[in-house]
A and B are shown apart, each in its own frame.
Chain A
Amino acid sequence: MTPRTALATLVLAAPLACAPRASTPPAPTPAPPAAEAPPSQPIPPVAADLTRPPELAPPPALDLPPIVTRQLDNGLSLMIVEQHELPVADFIMLVRTGGEADPSGRGGLASLTADMLDEGTATRGALQIADQAAFLGADLSTSSGWDRSFVSLHTTTAQMDSALALFGDVILHPAFPEADLKRVRKERLTSLLQLEDRGPAIADRVFDEVVFGDRNPYGHALSGTRQSVAAITRSDITRFYGTHYRPNNATLIVVGDVKPDDVERRVRSIFGPWQRGDIPVTEYGPVPPAKGRTIYLVDKPSAPQSSFRIGGVGVARSTPDYFAIEVMNTILGGSFTSRLNQNLRETHGYTYGAFSGFSMRRRPGPFVAEAEIVAAKTDSALLQFMAELKAIRDPVPEDELTRAKQLLQLQLPGDFETTRSIASRLVPVAVYDLPLDFYNEYVGRIGAVTRSDVERVARETIDPDSLDIVIVGDSKLVEPALKALGIAPVERLHFGSPLR
Chain B
Amino acid sequence: MIEIEARRSVIGALGAAFICVAAGMPAAAQDVPKIPFEKYTLDNGLEVILAPDHSTPVVAVNTWYHVGSADEQPGHTGFAHLFEHIMFMGSEHVPVGKFDSWLEAAGASNNGSTTQDRTNYYEWMPSNALPLALWLDGDRMGYLLPTMDQAKLDLQRDVVKNERRQGVDNVPYGRANETILAALFPKAHPYHHSVIGSMADLSAASLDDVKRFFDSYYAPNNATLVISGDFDRDSAKTWVERYFGKIPRNPQQPPRPSVPSFEIQRDTFMVLEDRVQLPRLYRSWHTVRAFAADDGALDVLAFVLADGKNSRLYKRLVYDMQVAQDVRAFQASMRLDGYFQIVVTPKPEQTPSRMAALVSEEIQRIAAGGIDARELERAQNSILASQIDRLASVLGKSDRLNFYNYFVGTPDYTQQDAERYRKVTAADVQRVARTYLGAPSVVLTVVPEGKTAMMVTAAGGGR
Contact = CB atoms under 8 A, between A and B. Distances in A.
Contact of B165 (A10, A57, A159, A304): A304
A402 B162 CA distance: 31
Interface in B370-406: 374, 377-378, 381-382, 384-385, 388-389, 391-394
Given A60-B126, A155-B25, A305-B166, 12 more contacts: A7-B10, A42-B235, A48-B243, A56-B129, A59-B126, A126-B309, A134-B378, A186-B347, A350-B162, A351-B159, A374-B165, A414-B58
B275 interface: yes
Contact of B381 (A30, A57, A136, A199): A136
B100 interface: yes
Interface stretch (A85-93, A104-112, A310-318): A85-93
Given A130-B309, A159-B29, A190-B348, A54 B132 contact: yes
Contacts of B232: 39-42
Interface stretch (A70-78, A276-284, A334-342, A479-487): A334-342
Contacts of A372: 162, 165-166, 170
Contact of B170 (A27, A53, A133, A305): A305
Given A86-B388, A127-B315, A191-B325, A60 B277 contact: no
Given A345-B159, A403-B101, A196 B277 contact: yes
Interface string B158-201: 11011101110111100000000000000000000000000000
A87 B24 CA distance: 9
B105 A43 contact: no
15 contacts: A6-B10, A7-B10, A10-B109, A30-B128, A32-B102, A53-B135, A88-B388, A133-B22, A183-B319, A194-B277, A194-B278, A198-B171, A302-B275, A304-B169, A406-B105
Given A56-B106, A411-B109, A194 B310 contact: no
B22 A139 contact: yes
Interface of A: 2-3, 5-8, 10, 26-27, 30-32, 36, 39-43, 45, 48, 50-54, 56-61, 63, 85-88, 126-127, 130-131, 133-139, 154-156, 158-159, 183, 186-187, 190-191, 193-194, 196-199, 301-305, 335-337, 342, 345-353, 372-374, 402-403, 406-407, 409-414, 416-421
Contacts of B13: 7
Contacts of B351: none
B234 interface: yes
Given A183-B322, A417-B393, A5 B10 contact: yes
Interface residues of B, number: 97
A59 B25 contact: no
B30 A158 contact: yes
Interface string B413-443: 0000000000000000000000000000000
Contacts of A403: 101, 104-105
Interface string B86-117: 00000001000100111011111101000000
Interface in B300-324: 307-310, 315, 318-319, 322
B145 interface: no
A113 B138 CA distance: 53
Interface string B264-283: 00000000000111100000
A137 B57 contact: no
A87 B30 contact: yes
A364 B234 CA distance: 51
Nearest to B24: A137
B242 interface: yes
B128 A57 contact: yes
B39 to A, nearest CB: 20
Contact of A406 (B107, B139, B308): B107
Contact of B30 (A137, A374, A410): A137
A480 B56 CA distance: 55
Contacts of A136: 25-26, 381
B278 to A, nearest CB: 6
A197 B135 contact: no
Nearest to B234: A42
B126 A41 contact: no
B131 interface: yes
A419 B243 CA distance: 34
Contacts of B327: none
A54 to B, nearest CB: 4
Those 8 A-B pairs whose CB atoms lie nearest each other, nearest first: A410-B107, A349-B158, A156-B25, A60-B57, A31-B106, A2-B9, A7-B10, A137-B385
B393 A418 contact: yes
B155 A346 contact: yes
A305 to B, nearest CB: 5
B159 A85 contact: no
A124 to B, nearest CB: 12
Contact of A337 (B33, B101, B139): B101
A303 B64 CA distance: 36
B17 to A, nearest CB: 18
Contacts of A402: 105
A186 B132 CA distance: 53
B106 A410 contact: yes
Nearest to A194: B277
B29 A197 contact: no
A464 to B, nearest CB: 25
B97 A45 contact: no
Contacts of B290: none
Nearest to B59: A39
Contacts of B275: 197, 301-302
A85 to B, nearest CB: 5
B385 A127 contact: no
A190 B347 contact: yes
Contacts of A40: 232, 235
B71 interface: no
By CB atoms of chain A within 10 A, which of B22, B169, B171 has the most?
Answer: B22
B11 interface: yes
B374 A131 contact: yes
Contacts of B388: 86, 88
B23 interface: yes
A151 to B, nearest CB: 15
Contacts of A56: 106, 128-129, 131-132
Contacts of A196: 277
Contact of A199 (B24, B129, B170): B170
B244 to A, nearest CB: 10
